Structure formats: structure tokens, C-alpha cells
Structure 1
């Protein structure tokens, strides 16, 4: 509980941004240097993980150097009161960052370069090295803060997102099965729900990758790696479920499938069991219902008018098997 109290008031990334800003300003002011450029660099360097900060900082530094060089050159040629100095500095900084694959640093490099033009005057060499030094201070300070202070932990967010994903996908499966049984083979509602479900699962993948990246920069986290492995396995199962669920949501046009009473009852029993997983915490197997569907699909010719029916039953059985394997003991 103690490590979560601040999350209810202010995010950890916000805290680190404030701390990085304070330390950067403190260092620059103690060296009698203008802190604004260093602060700007520090703010944009705070990323979701230490790896992202280091990786992007590695590209932002040369991008900033490029911007500073162009600012000095064009101010020398046109003066600090000419619109050409600003326009050409921005133009050439963006072009150079793109050319050298430094797009991640384009924004901070351009803003830093433009902001320093009014203060250059005739002190070109001094301003070049002072801006370069402040950029380095901002990058290093932000990188260290992000690495040492409040290392990102996304476990609570992941658990919440995965629970929401599973609740939504089980409910969508149940809803879609009922649509199929009443002959509604095209459903925009199900398609929209599936899009939201995929977006939610993608968010899980993003946070999980963030957590893996973070752990690679911190040693002796065996217990956390075990936890990440558990979450990874769970998300893998969910991804498979969503893939097969999409296969019974997106069907060809002009589909007409008729299920007999035994098949309908078996499908409904499996659907009900799946829909109860999130509430009960376990999967109640419907072996007899699965057997009914297996016998049914064996008797169908997959290459005649029963092709779509075979496809639907296959997908239902695959989803059943995915959950059967997941909850196997």
C-alpha cells in the first residue's frame, strides 16, 4: 500500500519529471548557465522506461548538436533579428535530423536551436558550447532520475487491463454465439466491440514490453521476471482467444448456417461456461458438448455448402481447447 499512495495523487512519471527539472535547473544555475535549454531537454527525455530514456537520449544529443550548429551559423550569416535565421535554422535542423535518422530528437533540437537565436549576439563560440553543455546536463540528469528514482512498475495496471480484457472477450464471445444461433451472421456491434478489445489488448502488450525493458536494466529481479512470465503466458492465451473470436465475427457475405438442436445446445453450454469464467475464476469443462461438436464437424463436408458451418464449429472447438489447456491441472 505504501508504494501506491502517490499514484492516487500524482503519477510517478510526473514526479520524476519535476525532480529532473529541479536538479537540472540547480546544476545549471550553480554553473551560472541559462537552465531553460537543459530543462527543455530533461522534460522530453523522461520516458516510460529507463531503456527508452537512454535510447532516445542517445539520439537526442546529436540532434541537439545539429540544431545548435545551424542556429549559430545562420545567426552569424543573417543576424538574430532576421526571419531568415529562424526559418533556415528550423528547416535545416529538421532536414538533417531526418537525413541522419534522428527524428526522435527533432522537436527538442529545433526548439532549442530557435530559442537560443535571440541570445547569441556576437558570442558564437561561447553560446555553442554552453548550449551543448546544458543539453548534456539535461539528458544525463533525466536519464539518471528515470533509472534510479521510482523505477516503473506496471503490474497493477497490467492486472487491471488483463482482467478487463478477459471480461470483455468472454462477454463478446457469448454475445456473438447467440447472434450466430439466431442467424445474425453480420454484426457491426460485434465488430466495434472487437476493435475495442484489440485496442485494449494492444495496450497490455505495450505495458508488458515496457516492464520487460525496465527489468533488463535492473539486476536481481528474479521474482519480478517470474511475475512477468506469468503475465506473458496469460496475454498469449488471450491473444489466441481474440484471434479465433475474430474468425467467427468476420464471416463472408450471404452466409446461411443452420445448427440442429443438439448442436445449438452444445454451443450454448460451452458459451455459458466461458461467460462464467470471470465471475467464478475457473473454467467448467463441457466435455460432452465438445464431443457433440466434434462428431458434428466430422460428418460435414468442408468443401460444400457446409464449409462455413465447419469453420464456425472448428473455431468454437479451438477456443474451447485454448481455455481447456489454460485451466488444465
Structure 2
């Protein structure tokens, strides 16, 4: 999938959709006004300005440097084939095909769409004076690209930190619900994972990947716009939380692949595990809250049970066919591992609060 399309899907539910519309309107107005002043064709320049608007200044500059030579290639091929074959189906075919082929070979894929639009649009609009038509289209393409780059750079600079923070809150909530749902399937219902659980797991996997892309976009954006230390500190805090969330999600993935055929936990162990899961779920939904002493005590008991279970399973290692980790061991390992991550989240949150208090003094 095209990288730009992925980015817009990430942003489609955020405020940046409205900002992109504003940017597009401003770019269209400036481009059209300049075309009227310079007596250049308006429609083509406006089309270029619309399709080259990007959410970030970084992308606008990088892709602009690719789109300009790509557009010149498309325009040159269109004029060449129009000169030899006229406005025929063969001209359209050769212009479109060779434009895409050369963009691919020259690693100008980000400019392939603009180049193809340029090539195809020029064929029908050109009757004679092929060199002048080429220069005119090159000028309008350049104008549209420059205006869109200018708008992306100076108007409504993208800020992704707030979006990342909101997504983290939502993802922690979804991850907590997934953990609770999966453990109930294993312990209470005694069955393998349902389609709903698997769908939720895959959805969170994709959303975490999108959030990491947003983090990359913010880093790229800050190469061209200033930011305060506070903004950087808040951004790094959210990135760290996202990394910890990814670890938690990875541990939950171990639970997706296991199933229980027979009841492996006693009533007391099952009650302790479910109680610990409930407190873990609460902490996941509110990762900035302090870990309670009751939860820590439950974790201590589960830790003792985990090592005791490992010792008891050593007798099965002499068998030809065996599992090194029983289902019970896997569940306990996941819960304990998630607790370790939650402790790290608590630590960075306390460190951040202490730093803010020092600055406030």
C-alpha cells in the first residue's frame, strides 16, 4: 500500500483531516491566483497542488524533490509520443506505461502519480508547439509543487504528540479488555481463543504499528519546526509508554496460541489468578495510577506458584513427548511479565512527575 495512503488512514479520525482540508483550500487559492497573474493554465496547476498536499512538512519537501523530476519525465514523454503519433490510443498507452516504468527504475515511485497525470493530461491539450507546451506544463507543475510545499511548511504545522497520547489511552484500554477476555476464555470457559479475541488482537497489533508511524512522522516534522523541551519530554514519555504497551501486547500474544483441555488450576489458584488479572486490567486502563500493595502481594504469591509449578514439571522432562512450559506456566509467566512492564510504566511516570515538580520550584 502507498505510504501516503497509510498515513491518511492513520489520520482520518483525527483533527488533521480538517487541517489538511484547510491546507488544500489555501494551496488551491494561491495556485489559481498566481496562474491568473502569470497567464498560465489554471486547472492543471490546481490539480497538482491538490494531490501533492502532505500532512507533514518533511514529506512535502522530500516528495517534492522526487515529484518534480518525475513530472518532467511524464511531460517529456507525452510531448515526444504526441509529436510522432499524434493524439492516438498508442500515445496514451506508451506515455503512461513508460512514465511508470521510468519512475520505477529511477526510484521515483512517490512521483509516479503526478508524472502519469502530467503525461496523460498534456496529450489532449497539446495541438502544436510541443516544446512550448512542455515548458508551460513544467512551469505549472513547478508552481503547484512549490505552493503545496510552502503551504505544508508554513500553514498549520502538524503536531502528532496529542494524537499519540490519545491513541495510547485507547490502546491501553483495548489491551486491558483483550487480556481480560482471553484469560476468561482460558480459565473460566476452558476453551481456545474465539474469533472475536483473535480479531481484537490483530486490530491492536495494527493500531500499535500505526502509532509508531506517527512517532516517526513527529520526529521528521521537528527537523523543520522548533519545539520546546516540554513538548519533547511529553513526546518521549508517550513513545516510551507505547513501547511498553507493545511489550504487554507481545506477552498477551502467548495466551492467544494456548488452550486448556482439562482444568489445571485448583479453585484457590484460579481465584488468586482471576483476582490478579482484575487488578492488572485496572492498572492497564489507568497506567498512571500507583500499583496497590494488594496487587503486589498477589503478584508475589503468583511468583511463588510459578516457580513451584516449574519444579513440579521437571519430572515430565524424561518423557519423549513433553512441553517444556505447561499452559498454567505460560499463563503465570504472562501475568508476571505484564506486571514487570507496569512497574516500569509507574517508574517513568513518577520520574516525570518529580522532574515537573523540580521545574515548578
In structure 2, the residue matched to 1:132 is 138
- For 1:8 and 1:324, locate their aligned partners in 2 and report how far apart those are by CA, in whole Å: 33
TM-score using structure 1 length: 0.90
- Distance across 2 between alignment mates of 1:258 and 1:293: 15
Q: Runs (4+) of structure 1 moved beyond 6 Å?
A: 7-10
1:235 equivalent in structure 2? 242
Any stretches of 5+ residues in structure 1 without a counterpart? 1-6
Which residue does the alignment assign to 1:293? 302
CA distance in 1, matches of 2:15, 2:55: 18
1:111 aligns with 2:130: no
The verdict on how the C-alpha distance between 1:208 and 1:9 changes in structure 2, with shifts beyond 3 A counting, is closer
Q: Distance in 2 between matches of 1:9 and 1:67?
A: 31
Q: Does 1:314 align with 2:333?
A: yes
CA deviation map 1:156-186 (0-9, x unaligned): 3223221111111111111211222122233
Aligned length: 321
- The answer for the alignment partner of 2:176 in structure 1 is 170
Shift of 1:257: 5.7
Q: Structure 1 residue aligned with 2:265, among 259, 262, 267?
A: 259
Structure 2 CA distance, aligned partners of 1:44 and 1:221?
32
TM-aligned CA distance change 1:254 to 1:324, over 3 Å: closer
Alpha-carbon distance between aligned partners in 2 of 1:77 and 1:257, rounded to the nearest angstrom:
80
Provide Cα deviations, 1:238-296, integer angstroms capped at 9, x if missing partner.
11111111111122x67546112332222112211122232695243522221222222
Q: 1:215 to 1:186 in 2, by over 3 A?
A: same
User: 1:62 maps to what in 2?
Assistant: 69
- CA change 1:93–1:196 in 2 (3 A) is same
Please tell me whether the aligned partners of residues 61 and 139 of structure 1 are also in contact (alpha carbons under 8 angstroms): yes
How does the TM-score come out when normalised to structure 2? Answer: 0.83
Q: Does the C-alpha gap of structure 1 residues 8 and 196 become closer, same or farther in structure 2, counting only changes over 3 Å?
A: closer
Q: Show the counterpart of 1:324.
A: 343
For residue 220 of structure 1, report the CA deviation from its aligned partner: 4.4
Gaps of at least 5 residues in structure 2 are 1-13, 351-361
- Once the two structures are superposed, the pairs formed by residues 277-288 of structure 1 within 5 Å of their partners are 277=283, 278=285, 282=289, 283-285=291-293, 286-288=295-297
Asked if 1 retains the 8 angstrom alpha-carbon contact of 2:186 and 2:260, the reply is: no
Matched, 1:17 2:24: yes
CA distance in 1, matches of 2:25, 2:212: 28
> Is 1:151 the counterpart of 2:151 in the alignment?
no
1:181–1:264 CA contact under 8 A, matched in 2: yes
Aligned to 2:357: none
